[in-house]
Structures are given as C-alpha cells and as structure tokens.
A and B are shown apart, each in its own frame.
Chain A
Amino acid sequence: MAIYVLKRIGLAMMLVWLVATLIFMILHAVPGDPAELLLSQGGVAPDPAQVEELREQLGLNLPLLTQYWNYLSGVLQGDLGSSLQDGHAVAEEIWLRLPRTLELIGAAALLSLLIGLPTGILAARRVNTLLDRVLSVTASVFLSIPVFVVGTLSVLIFSQQLRIVPAGGYTPPSKDLMGHLVLLAMPAGTIAVGLAAVVFRTTRNAMLEILGRDFVRAAHAKGVKEKRIVVHHVLRNALIPIVTVFALQIGTLLGGTVLVEYVFNWPGLSGYLVRSVEARDYPEVVGIVLVISILFVLLNLAVDLLYAALDPRVRYAR
C-alpha cells in the first residue's frame, strides 16, 4: 500500500514537470517570435523597438536552455512572473482566486454526486420501468447540452424571467455567508447538471452489472437485508467504476469551470484566464494554465489514491 502511494505521488510529480515542460515547449514551438505575435494587432507589424523591449522583459533573448531553467526554477519558487498589463505578480493574483475556483468545483462535484448516485441506484433497482426510462432519457439530454448553454438558459429562466436569484456575481463568505451561497448555487448547479448525468449513467450501469454477480446471490443466501446488500455489497463495488468515470470527467469539469465562471461573473481563476487570453498576457496565461494543470494532476492523484482505498486488488497489483 505504502509503495503504491509513493509510486503514485512520484508519478504525479513527474507529470507536473512534464506539464510545465509541455507548456514551455508549446510557447517556443509555435512558429515565429512570441513577442512579435503578442504585439501584432490586426496584421499590423509591430514597432521593432517595442518587440525588442518585450523580448528583453520576457527573457526571450537568453539561450533556450537558460530560459527553460529560469522558468522551472521560477515555478519551483512560486514565481510566475508579472502581468504585462499592470505588472502585478501573477502568483499573487492566482493565489487570491484559486480558493474561489476550488469552492465552485467542490460544490459542483458534491452536488452531482448527491443527484447522480441516488437516482442511479433507484434506476438500477427499478430497471426497465417507466421511472428508469424517464431518468435515463433525462440524463442523456443533460449529458449533451453544453455547460454554457445550461448556464445561459438558467440565467434567462431563473434570473431574468422568474427573478429568483441574481444573474451572477460574488460576495465573500466572510461578509455575507447566505448571500455567498445564493450566488454559488447557480454556477455550481450548472456544472453539476452534466456531471450528475454522467454519475447517474455510470452508477446505474455498474449497479446492474454487479447485481448479477454471484456474491450478491451469496449475500442473499446469508439472509442479509436488501438494503445492506445494495449499499454494502453492490454500491461498494460499483463505486470503483464510478470513481474511474468521475476521474475521466475532471478535465471536462475544469474546462466547464472556465465557461461557467465567465457566464456568472464568478471571480475565480478561469474568468481571470479568459481576460488574460483576450489581452494575450503571456505570463498570466502560462501561470494560470500551469496552476490549473497542476490542480488537474493533483485531483487525478487523489482519485488514484481513492481508487486504492476502494479496491483492495489495486494495492497489490501495481
């Protein structure tokens, strides 16, 4: 078990390094001079003096390996450079917004499990009934609607037409906890809808598969109560594929956050990212993409560890 955990952590650290390198490579593999690319607007060639200044500022005149070294050691020390627009330290800006994004992701994940698991179990136990079909079709629909469409239509319905909740914004929880949660509800719910559909589907199919296993019959033969069989024997095993599929959704979840933060003016990491991309603020974009990617790797690490906790076979097999 300890070996497995150490291996996974080692692998995650390697992935972080790979991601950092990949981002560096993308920046330098793009044909042309990044400084020139960044300064050119609407096809007008930029002022060479300006380009030179930017190259100097970004350290683009140094040898490639030195640049790579500076970049990596900067990342290790938590220095992600400063914004081209206002000179603020990128790391500080990210540090300020990261908790808000994490809160949104956490709330959405929790909500999707709260919706997806019980409905999935229900559908599996009533398989091929009307209820099962209605739930399955609903899930297929929600699975297909892009997250920003759900968000935009939610604003249209709940804020603009029904006027139940504000269309977006943010209140710090320290100032007004209730107001904070009200504003959190719609963006978190928007992300959760699609995720819940995935959880539902996986739960239903995994439960159905496991309900047919011999050990379920053996548990019945022991006289175990139906409820305990469903939770202790079936769901406990179904959690393994559910966690796997959930892990595959993490990337989509992080992408969805970008769009949802934008729709609801949630001042998290991703809204910041969109503005940086619009302004083509190179250090900002690199910093944010790097941080979110590390988050991605860490979440996957968490899933791997959870996986080992759930499935005793994994701990020994690898």
Chain B
Amino acid sequence: MRISIPKDIRLPLALVGGIFLITLLVPFLPLENPVQMLMGSRLAPPSLENPLGRDEYGRDVLSRILWGARTSLSVAFAAALVAGIAGTFLGLIGGYFRGVAELLTVRASEVILCLPPLLLALLVVTLLGPGAGTLIISLGILYTPGYARVVYAETLSVRALDYVAAQETLGTHPARILLRTVLPNVMSPLIVQFSLTVASAMVLESGLSFLGLGVVPPEPSWGLMIRSARSTMEQAPLLLVWPCLALSGAVIMLNILCDKLRDVLDPRSKSSPSGASTRRRVAARLLPGLVGDDEASVIQIKGLTLQIAGLKEQPVVRDVSFSVRPGETVALVGESGSGKTLTGLALLGLLPPAVKVTSGSVEFTRRDGTKVDLLSLPDTERRKLRGDEISMIFQDPSGSLNPVHRVGDQVAEAMLVHRDMSSAAAGERAVELLAKVGLPDPERRARSYPHELSGGQKQRAMIASAISNKPKLLIADEPTTALDVTIQAQILELLDGLRRESSQMGMIFVTHNLAVVAEIADRVCIMYAGEIVEEGPVGEVFAAPKHPYTRALLASVPEGGAKRLSAIPGSVPTPDKFPAGCRFASRCERASPECKIGILSLQAVGDQRVSRCLKWKEVA
C-alpha cells in the first residue's frame, strides 16, 4: 500500500523526523561522553572540538544537548505511549459498552483532570522519588484521560454506523468489532492526540527536570541543563541559551506538526478558519428596464452591475434597472443564486468583500426630498441611511438576531443609533413595535432572548426593528422562506399591512416564490442568470408572460388548475459560464442562432412592460 502524505505536513514531518533520527543515531555519532567531566576545562568557550563549549563540570555541551534530546524524547514518547494504550483501552470499552462500563473507565479517569497536571506529577514524584521511570508513570497517568475522551467520543460515533450495527446483529464478538472495525476508525484522532501528548509531555518533563524533580543528574536532559546553567549565568550566558533553543525549537516543530496534522486528519477542528474563503456567493442575474427617469420614485436603480473579484469576464449581476414608488411593492424573482439577493445587498452597501460594484447608479430620495446616489455615497453617510431611511429584513431570523442580547434591546438598537433618544424611551418604543407586529405579551418578549422565541416570532421582531425608524424603503430578502407555511402567510399579511399603512414606504420583496409574488407585489422583475429578463405589473406578467423563462417558471408552479407540472430542462449556468446572447437560450425550445450572439437588451413589449427576448411575440 502506498501512503501519500499531504503536502501541508511534509515539511514539519520531515523536521520532526530529523529530530527523531538524531536521537536514534546519537550513540553512533563521534561525540564525547556526555557525562565525562573534565574539571580543567570548566566553562571552556566554544572551540573546534567543542562547538558549543563546555559546561561547569567541563562536559561537552553539544554532546549533552544531543543526548538530552534522546532523554527528553524517549521519556515523552514512552509516556505518550503508555497513556495512549491505557486511554484507548478505557475509551473503547467505555464508548462501546456505555452504562456502568463508561462510568468505570472514561468517567473514572476524568477524575485525574480535577488536579492541575504538574501537581499530580509532583505528587507522584514525592512518593516514588525522581527519575525517568517515575516521569513516565506520572506523565502516563496524566495523559490517559485525554486519550480516553477522544477515543470514547469517536467510538460512540463509529458505533452508530450501519456496518458496525450490522456486525453486532451477526453476533460478531465485541473484541473483534472493537479491534477490527472501531480501532482503525479512531486512528486519525489518535494520531493527532499522540503528537499533542508528546509535545506536552516534553514540556512537562523538562519542567520537572528543571525543578530538579525529574531526570536525575548527571544524565543529560534539557531541563536539567537549563537548571544548572542558571548558576553560571554570569560567566557563561551562552550555556543557558543552547538548551533553551533546543527545547523551544523542538516543541515549536512538534506543535506545528500537530496543527497541520489536525487540519489534515480532523477536518472538524480547523485550527484557523481561512480568511480567503470569505463567502463567495454565486451571484445574481438581473437586468433592468427601459424605464426612463422616474421622478416620483423612492429608489431608482440604473444599470447596476456587480462583479466577483477574480471572475473578470462576466459580471454576476448585469445592468439591473428598476424603480420603486412610494407605497409600491416590487418583487425581485429568480432561482437561488440568480443575483436577486446581491442586488438587495448592493443597495445597502453590504455586499460581501469579494463582490464589487462596477457600474450603475442607485438614486435614493430621502425624507427631505433630496436625491442621493447610494453607490457613490461615502460609507459613513450610507451607514446613516441604513436602518433609518432604508432597512432590510433577512431570510433567516434565527441567525439575524444576536443570541446574547435581549430581543427588546435589539429592536431598540436601530432607534438608539439614529435618533437622539434615551435607552428607556427606545425600550418603551420597542415594546410598542413588538405589539404592532403582533407579538403576544410584548413586554415579556422584549426581555426574552432570541432562543426563547419561535421562528415566526423572531421574524416579527426583525420586522419591528426594521420599521422602527419608519423607513422610506424596506428591502425584504426572502423573509418567509425559513418559516413554516402557516407562519409565512401571517408574515406576508403583516408586511402587506405595514406597507398599506404608510403610503410613503416602498418595498422591494426578494423571493423565489411566485405564489408569494402574486399575493404581495404590484410589479415584478423576473431575474435569470444575473439579468432582469422581464418586468411589468404582476397581474399582466402572470397572465401573459413575454419571456420563455417567465412562462416556464409559471408552468412549474403547482396551482389548482394545472394538469401537470413542467420542470425547466437543464440548469442555470454559473457566473463563469454565462453565454453570449440570451443567457436562457440553452434551455429554451424557441432558441435560434441569433439568440446566441451579442448582448440582448430589454425591449418594450407593452405599457410598462419589458422583456429580454427576441421572440417575445411568439411567447405570447
């Protein structure tokens, strides 16, 4: 069998391997006897024969360092092995048989963890006297519970696997199952635990030797060498430096190996989340309309184009234009990843770091009637609008509430940020808002933490927070997707009611659910692969779609009258594979060669209606 070693751990593995090799080869190297004293050359400076000089008894320091490595490593290794065998045994038994066996093995060994590690070792040393043997015993005891825990946890999960259960049913002897099936499965975490233990045991061993309670002189050990060099620090400071360097270097290398091993073998505990994997959402596709300047609009988006850094060729959202008037609800509809959410986030300036706006403008009409371009507004100015004049509701209410703060405080936060009001007043207002969005017993809910609320209640709280400053524009990004169907209807009703109540507020409703669109929206923008493919009043678009994609989407909705559901063949291309011409062409039965060239623009297909299809007349 050929074992391939992952690239990441090759270097640290080679370095640690090198240290091990040296410790094995020490007896065969041309070194002076590490315990042979030469009183005439006490503290001799480095020379050709003794590259690191001689210590206070005239012993060769290089030889002592190398022999010391052998002592330290063999003690650490032996202790880790003793603990490994004992701990694995306890963990296997405890994890496999559970019940009393678990109590007697894993739980019993954990009592050791009640004592700080060094102290337990000292206690054993008091009783047995110092020496390498004592060290191995006490360190072995110390690290047993660690192994027992790891193996126990792994055994539990392996035992739950079907093929283990199958073996049990077949009457295989437990010992056989444990050794043949469970043990190989717990190997990865065991290897990680072993390397961790060796590093830790080395530190403890040298610490005890440093205190004079570990390895017995004159045997060489790094801890002992540091201990004795302290007394000659004035005359020969370097004597102190060498063993310190050797010990620290060895531990650093072992620790690096542990980190890498853990990353490779135990994907659950990544030692550091890589910043490069910043959520890269496959983005949206939207395209805007031929709509001219709309003086009365709350917000007018023109030619918004978004690009993912690194995907130079195709923007994930291209040339999206639409506008929302006061009191109007515009739905952005598309399959997941069509760019509808990115479009919403772009309006607020909350795009993920990897996505950049490359062109377009977003004209927002403020409460005082002035118009600002949200895209060119400085960050601080845009922040002042967010949560005040423009607010947003997100898809997952559970994730959107901070788990450690009270619901009422989180509703009040937007008011405290944007209004000059006391926190008491904001708190009272928050309770009123919670009542307004239909939460029963709002005073108590305001004092609750998010985990005490149901999903629907959380979304109501998020809505209360979003409307707390009476925004001019409310962006709702799939606000009902994460909720139960019955709750969905209630939330939609709530949002619709709020919108009707305030004739000044416009709403952008992002969704993939056409039934919801029919219920709540006045106008609809259908998005496909980062472009708007059709836009118009909801009733007209649904009654007579002018784009094959809209038509196909409508046909895939289970509605009372429909005889059969038709799925759209093929799948949405990813942003790096957006084709030239019509992006839907590859899935369209009407597509002809002229559909696949150039950039298609939106065409007026009726009063207030546009479509990005060359053959829109045929679709009807």
A: residues with CB less than 8 A from B are 15, 18-19, 22-23, 26-27, 30, 34, 37, 127-128, 132, 136, 140-141, 143-149, 152-153, 155-156, 160-161, 201, 204-205, 208-209, 212-215, 217-225, 228, 232-233, 236-237, 240, 250-252, 254-256, 258-259, 262, 273-274, 276-278, 280, 282, 285-286, 289, 292-293, 296-297, 310-313, 316
Q: Most chain-B Cβ atoms within 10 A of its Cβ — which of A220, A221, A293?
A: A221
The 0/1 profile, CB within 8 Å of A marked 1, for residues 375-396 of chain B is 0000000011111100110101
Check A289 against B394 for contact (C-beta < 8 Å): no
B392 to nearest A CB, angstroms? Answer: 4
A29 to nearest B CB, angstroms? Answer: 10
Q: Most chain-A Cβ atoms within 10 A of its Cβ — which of B119, B247, B400, B414?
A: B119
The main secondary structure of chain B at its interface with chain A is: helix
Looking at B49-57, B171-179, B208-216, the stretch in contact with chain A turns out to be B208-216
B354 to nearest A CB, angstroms? Answer: 12
Which residue of chain B has its CB nearest to the CB of A27? B127
Check A220 against B350 for contact (C-beta < 8 Å): yes
Q: List 30 A-B contacts (CB under 8 A).
A: A22-B114, A26-B124, A37-B127, A127-B275, A140-B255, A141-B248, A144-B254, A146-B247, A153-B240, A155-B230, A215-B401, A215-B402, A220-B383, A221-B391, A222-B391, A223-B386, A223-B388, A237-B403, A240-B404, A250-B116, A255-B117, A255-B118, A255-B119, A258-B118, A262-B210, A280-B126, A312-B451, A313-B403, A313-B449, A313-B451
A residues in contact with B391, CB < 8 Å: 221-222
| B256 within 8 Å of A (CB atoms) | yes
Out of A155, A214, A219, name the residue touching B413 (CB < 8 Å): A219
A residues in contact with B385, CB < 8 Å: 223
| B312 within 8 Å of A (CB atoms) | no
Tell me the residues in window 114-149 of chain B with beta carbons closer than 8 Å to chain A beta carbons.
114-119, 122-129
| B251 within 8 Å of A (CB atoms) | yes
B residues in contact with A144, CB < 8 Å: 199, 248, 251-252, 254-255
Q: Most chain-B Cβ atoms within 10 A of its Cβ — which of A223, A286, A311?
A: A223
B residues in contact with A30, CB < 8 Å: 127-128
Complex CA–CA separation, A166 to B427 (angstroms): 56
A residues in contact with B119, CB < 8 Å: 254-255, 258, 273, 289, 292-293
A residues in contact with B275, CB < 8 Å: 127-128, 132, 208
Check A146 against B417 for contact (C-beta < 8 Å): no
Check B403 against A277 for contact (C-beta < 8 Å): no
Check A213 against B279 for contact (C-beta < 8 Å): no
Which residue of chain B has its CB nearest to the CB of A43? B129
8 closest A-B pairs by CB: A255-B118, A214-B399, A222-B387, A223-B387, A223-B386, A127-B275, A144-B252, A312-B449
Complex CA–CA separation, A253 to B125 (angstroms): 20
Check A289 against B451 for contact (C-beta < 8 Å): no
Tell me the residues in window 209-237 of chain B with beta carbons closer than 8 Å to chain A beta carbons.
210-213, 223, 226, 230, 233-234, 237
B356 to nearest A CB, angstroms? Answer: 17
Check A255 against B255 for contact (C-beta < 8 Å): no
Given contacts A208-B272, A277-B122, 20 further A-B contacts (CB under 8 A): A26-B124, A37-B129, A147-B207, A153-B244, A205-B272, A218-B401, A222-B387, A222-B414, A224-B413, A233-B402, A254-B118, A255-B116, A258-B118, A259-B118, A274-B122, A280-B129, A292-B119, A312-B403, A312-B404, A312-B449
B residues in contact with A282, CB < 8 Å: 126
Check B206 against A215 for contact (C-beta < 8 Å): no
Out of A146, A236, A254, name the residue touching B248 (CB < 8 Å): A146
Tell me the residues in window 257-280 of chain B with beta carbons closer than 8 Å to chain A beta carbons.
259, 271-273, 275-276, 278-279
Which residue of chain A has its CB nearest to the CB of B249? A144
Out of B123, B237, B255, name the residue touching A289 (CB < 8 Å): B123
Complex CA–CA separation, A167 to B299 (angstroms): 70
| B465 within 8 Å of A (CB atoms) | yes
B475 to nearest A CB, angstroms? Answer: 8
Check A217 against B350 for contact (C-beta < 8 Å): yes
A residues in contact with B251, CB < 8 Å: 144-146
Which residue of chain A has its CB nearest to the CB of B276? A128
Q: Most chain-B Cβ atoms within 10 A of its Cβ — which of A23, A132, A215, A252?
A: A215
A residues in contact with B272, CB < 8 Å: 136, 201, 204-205, 208
Q: Most chain-A Cβ atoms within 10 A of its Cβ — which of B211, B213, B237?
A: B211
| B304 within 8 Å of A (CB atoms) | no
| B572 within 8 Å of A (CB atoms) | no
A residues in contact with B230, CB < 8 Å: 152, 155
Out of B112, B248, B254, B400, name the residue touching A218 (CB < 8 Å): B400
- Known contacts being A273-B122, A278-B212, is A161 close to B237, with CB within 8 Å? yes
Which residue of chain A has its CB nearest to the CB of B124? A26
Which residue of chain B has its CB nearest to the CB of A293? B115
A68 to nearest B CB, angstroms? Answer: 16
A residues in contact with B403, CB < 8 Å: 215, 237, 311-313
- Known contacts being A204-B272, A237-B404, A251-B117, is A214 close to B394, with CB within 8 Å? yes
Out of A160, A237, A256, name the residue touching B402 (CB < 8 Å): A237
Complex CA–CA separation, A140 to B212 (angstroms): 28
Out of B122, B128, B414, B452, name the residue touching A223 (CB < 8 Å): B414
Out of B203, B213, B394, name the residue touching A277 (CB < 8 Å): B213
| B31 within 8 Å of A (CB atoms) | no
Q: Most chain-A Cβ atoms within 10 A of its Cβ — which of B118, B126, B226?
A: B126
| B111 within 8 Å of A (CB atoms) | yes
The main secondary structure of chain A at its interface with chain B is: helix
Check B211 against A160 for contact (C-beta < 8 Å): no
Complex CA–CA separation, A69 to B223 (angstroms): 40
Complex CA–CA separation, A310 to B117 (angstroms): 28
Out of A140, A152, A224, A296, name the residue touching B240 (CB < 8 Å): A152
Tell me the residues in window 313-369 of chain B with beta carbons closer than 8 Å to chain A beta carbons.
348, 350
A residues in contact with B452, CB < 8 Å: 316
A residues in contact with B241, CB < 8 Å: 153, 156
Complex CA–CA separation, A222 to B207 (angstroms): 53
Q: Most chain-A Cβ atoms within 10 A of its Cβ — which of B112, B115, B199?
A: B115
Complex CA–CA separation, A227 to B199 (angstroms): 39
Out of B124, B211, B273, B387, name the residue touching A208 (CB < 8 Å): B273
Complex CA–CA separation, A280 to B122 (angstroms): 10
Out of A215, A222, A276, A277, name the residue touching B399 (CB < 8 Å): A215
A residues in contact with B115, CB < 8 Å: 19, 22-23, 289, 293, 296
Which residue of chain B has its CB nearest to the CB of A149? B244
Complex CA–CA separation, A185 to B252 (angstroms): 26
Check A218 against B394 for contact (C-beta < 8 Å): yes
B residues in contact with A251, CB < 8 Å: 113, 116-117
| B306 within 8 Å of A (CB atoms) | no
Out of B118, B240, B276, name the residue touching A156 (CB < 8 Å): B240
Check B210 against A148 for contact (C-beta < 8 Å): yes
Check B210 against A223 for contact (C-beta < 8 Å): no
Complex CA–CA separation, A221 to B230 (angstroms): 60
B residues in contact with A128, CB < 8 Å: 275-276
A89 to nearest B CB, angstroms? Answer: 19
| B418 within 8 Å of A (CB atoms) | yes
B241 to nearest A CB, angstroms? Answer: 8
Complex CA–CA separation, A22 to B125 (angstroms): 16
Complex CA–CA separation, A155 to B213 (angstroms): 22
Check A311 against B404 for contact (C-beta < 8 Å): yes
Complex CA–CA separation, A312 to B273 (angstroms): 26
A residues in contact with B125, CB < 8 Å: 277
Complex CA–CA separation, A194 to B488 (angstroms): 52
B residues in contact with A143, CB < 8 Å: 255
A residues in contact with B276, CB < 8 Å: 128
A240 to nearest B CB, angstroms? Answer: 8
B536 to nearest A CB, angstroms? Answer: 29
Check A278 against B213 for contact (C-beta < 8 Å): yes
Which residue of chain B has its CB nearest to the CB of A209? B273
